[in-house]
A and B are shown apart, each in its own frame.
Chain A
Amino acid sequence: MRRTHVKSVLAGAAVLAVLTACSTDDSGGGSDTAGNDTAEQETEGSSDEWFVQADYDEQMEQMSATFSGPEDQPWLQYIEGPTTDTSQWATQESQKVCFANASISNPWRQTGWITMNQQLEVLQESKVISEMETRDAGDDDNQQIADIDYFISEGNCDVFIISPNSTAALTPAVERACETGKPVIVFDRGVETDCAATFIHPIGGYAWGIATAEFLVDNLEEGDKVVALRILPGVDVLETRWAAAEKIFEENGIEAVDYFTEANPETIKSIITDEITKGDVAGVWMDAGDGAVAAIEAFEDQGVDYPVMTGEDEMSFLRKWEETGLNGLAPVYSNFQWRTPLLAVEMIAKGEPVPTEWVLPQVPITEEERAAFLEANDGMPDGHYAKFGGEDLPGYPEVWQERQIP
């Protein structure tokens, strides 16, 4: 606390000093650069914790890897590698699936959850799955650990599917689930154990950061300013996106300032407006695209040129991107991965081998492809994700259009 207090008092004092002694600070530019230096040092120090060169290199490689599997079903594609032998679990019985979900508290998770339930319908029809019991942890690690323990003792589960709320904290609970001898399927965020039958995820956060930052670097000049809009600190899949992007920006002389916005469009708009007022903003980078429209509208309302921008495959961004014709890219954190765990249940029940680490493709949507995705998702709500991958499932498109959360 002592340290907390001293530090925060210092931070407060810095502001107060400017308030009270603004007369000593005659040049705005001077204070600007001073502020810049400290900000950069601090962020540099803090992102080190997240940057793992080996993971960065691996994902960089995976971005250009060849994916095996059915051409038209990206949710079944994978990179060749070690597989898990599942013959011990082969069965004719219908399986009871227990799903410990982190939450459905954001549009991305909601879209995926809808897709997952439509996939479930198909597999229930074919008698692969008898029932899926779901516990929603409401973004709380403690709750999710309790949920998994509940499933272990009370759930009567044949298969566990776990979408962890956070990586390290959920590891012991996932290990306990593995100790039951039943297959465990982990997807989206990972855990620090390889006891799961399969860990399903798109390439990852570094790949997102690399794709977006390289796009901005290619389209901007050295010395240009990029405003980075981040949701919140401390979430690994988001932190790795920024860690990779920040590294690339630094290497290429792009000046980047980052803000936490909690995806709140009002906050985003204020920040962008103030940044435009401070000086030219050439690019906008986002670690998740919802709220992108507010950023674009800030440029419109200030009457300045659109920035080069990266958003996400969320419909509101795709629509605004087309409408404005700005130079942009929609990175993708493949939403269709929500189907894969249930399809993995089917493979496991059949005794087919599954990739131990099931890396799904993660391909950004470029300007050329945009029109096709807009057409394919016509009528979908703004919070829908273009690469949701549920076009062949029952209920398409009404269920997604109506956003029927089960």
Chain B
Amino acid sequence: MTSPTAPTAPSAPDRPPVVRRPAGLTSTGIVLVILAVAVVAGAVLTAIEGRNFFSTGNLRDILTITSTLGLIAIGQTLVILVGSLDLSVPFVASLTGVIAAGIMAGETGNVPLALVVALGLAALIGLVNGLVVSLLRVHGFIATLGMGLIISGYIATNYQGSHGSAPRSFRLIGISFIGPIPVSTLLMLGCALLAIVLLRRTRVGHHLYAVGGNAEVARLSGVRTWVPVVTAHVLCSLLAGFAGLLLLARLSVGNPTIGSQGQYDLMSIAAVVLGGTLLAGGKGHITGTIAGVAIFAVMDNVMGALQTDPFLRDVVRGAVIVAAVAVYARREIDRRPARFDAPSPARRRA
């Protein structure tokens, strides 16, 4: 929201000097630069393999993978902005997928009901998450880890293997393209836009930043802190549910483990942080998150084209995450002692 006000002068003996960057380059700017670098590097490496990075098929591959993780990461951004976390997203995605597929049972007429039930369920899970976090004062990490376990037990008990099926009309969402752009990606970008409007233009959006930045100050200035927390959690679960429906459209059947297969919990958090959002909350942008997701997608695509060893891919992912976040993490710290990130700069003057 605001630029750091804390003196970042390298005064303390335990820290190497902070390099000051031009004031114009925001963290989102840096992420976009990294994305551009990734695209260029990807294009070159792909060309060396004798492929065209910008071919329709390749762009579709990248964008398709972006859409699901993107949706979940948008929700994760909201939750992280407000100072919480959501580890239950993969299970919400799986659950909405199997439930919707079960209700659809291959009939187009059942689609509206399936969407309402599935998304309603997702919202309800988000509501419970939000209330447990805000009213019962359980840390988001534990609340959503527990919720994830609860849902996973329910799924394992009631759905073994594929369940139900989506009618062709619904599956079209997953396999239609406008030019090289999959419809699912457009839907994801639409959600991103809505989230940006929410954060920039609405009262609850502003409160989200306020509570994430400093709950105590927000409370003292008259913000009912539980409202933004619950809102963020409900929206996050809704988006995860939406992602589950997109996956259903791609898979045509409900798969009870699809969420865990994509490792959407940790990867979405990584994408959010890669996108420049402060893990402690209060600062960050949806644009950065989308760029973070795109960086992952480009990276995976290039490693796929290079036929990199699947095990080595994780090594590269890990290295890129740390390196990219390190580029701007140092300048993002303000004076607030955070729960997740590094200590804030010293207050004593040299």
Contact = CB atoms under 8 A, between A and B. Distances in A.
Interface of A: 1-5, 7-8, 11, 42, 46, 49-50, 103-105, 133-136, 138-143, 145-147, 149-150, 152-154, 165-169, 171-172, 233-236, 239, 260, 405-406
Given A134-B307, A142-B258, A142-B261, A150 B57 contact: yes
Contacts of B159: 234
A227 B58 CA distance: 48
A139 B58 CA distance: 21
A405 B309 contact: yes
B151 A171 contact: no
A141 B261 contact: yes
A239 B61 contact: no
Given A133-B307, A153-B60, A169-B253, A1 B161 contact: no
Going nearest first, the 10 A-B pairs with the smallest beta carbon separation are: A153-B57, A168-B162, A169-B251, A154-B57, A1-B124, A140-B261, A168-B253, A1-B121, A136-B310, A4-B154
A57 to B, nearest CB: 20
Given A49-B160, A168-B255, 4 more contacts: A105-B310, A153-B60, A172-B171, A234-B256
Interface string B111-127: 00000000011101100
B153 interface: yes
Nearest to B58: A154
Given A42-B157, A149-B61, A168-B252, A141 B258 contact: yes
26 contacts: A4-B95, A7-B154, A7-B157, A46-B157, A49-B161, A103-B310, A105-B310, A133-B307, A134-B307, A142-B65, A142-B68, A145-B250, A145-B251, A150-B57, A153-B56, A154-B51, A154-B58, A166-B161, A168-B161, A168-B251, A168-B252, A169-B252, A172-B175, A234-B159, A405-B309, A405-B311
B4 interface: no
A167 B95 CA distance: 19
Interface residues of B, number: 47
B197 interface: no
Contacts of B253: 168-169
Nearest to A113: B310
A339 to B, nearest CB: 20
**Which of B60, B151, B261 has the most CB atoms of chain A within a 10 A radius of its CB?**
B261
Nearest to A4: B154
A50 B251 contact: no
B270 to A, nearest CB: 15
Contacts of B65: 142-143, 146
A146 B150 CA distance: 30
Contacts of B256: 233-234
Contacts of B160: 46, 49-50, 233-234, 239
A375 B60 CA distance: 51
Contacts of B309: 405-406
A87 B287 CA distance: 54
Majority secondary structure, B binding face: helix
A31 to B, nearest CB: 21
Contacts of A134: 307
Contacts of A146: 61, 64-65
Interface in B22-70: 51, 55-58, 60-61, 64-65, 68
B238 to A, nearest CB: 12
A24 to B, nearest CB: 26
A236 B258 contact: no
A145 B171 CA distance: 13
B128 interface: yes
A237 to B, nearest CB: 10
Contacts of A2: 124
A400 B125 CA distance: 48
Nearest to A172: B252
B162 A167 contact: yes
A150 B58 contact: yes
Contacts of A167: 161-162
B304 A169 contact: no
B337 interface: no
A3 to B, nearest CB: 8
Nearest to A48: B160
A150 B162 contact: no
Contact of A141 (B60, B125, B255): B255
B8 interface: no
B231 interface: no
B307 A149 contact: no
B247, B257, B310, B311, most chain A CB atoms within 10 A: B310
Given A46-B160, A136-B310, A168-B162, A4 B150 contact: yes
A166 B162 contact: yes
A234 B257 contact: yes
Contact of A142 (B57, B58, B262): B262
B156 interface: yes
Contacts of B64: 146, 149
Contacts of B161: 49-50, 166-168, 234-236, 239
A150 B307 CA distance: 13
A179 B20 CA distance: 57
A142 B61 contact: no
- Among A105, A233, A239, the one with the most B-chain Cβ atoms within 10 Å of its Cβ is A233
Interface string B126-159: 0010000000000000000000001101101111
